[in-house]
């Protein structure tokens, strides 16, 4: 479902959606260290 949604968005929105999904997944796992690493990778 999420993949189809992303495909309909513009390139910039695809990136934002992907980052949002990563952050949401990490929050669900309560893994703060991984969240920090992901932010560094995206920057």
- Residue-level pLDDT at 5: 55
Phi first, then psi: what are they for 30, rounded to 5°? 55, 40
In the chain, domain spans: 2-42
If you search the block for the tokens 């969240």, which residue do you land on?
Answer: 35
Each residue's pLDDT tens digit, 1-43: 455 555 665 777 777 888 888 877 766 666 677 777 777 776 6
Q: CA-to-CA distance for 34 and 40, rounded, in angstroms? A: 10
Q: CA-to-CA distance for 35 and 22, rounded, in angstroms? A: 8
Say how many C-beta atoms besides its own lie within 10 A of residue 30's C-beta. Answer: 8
């Amino acid at each position: 479902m999420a993949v189809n949604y992303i495909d309909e968005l513009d390139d910039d929105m695809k990136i934002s959606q992907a980052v949002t999904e990563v952050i949401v997944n990490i929050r669900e796992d309560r893994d703060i260290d991984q969240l920090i690493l992901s932010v560094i990778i995206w920057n």
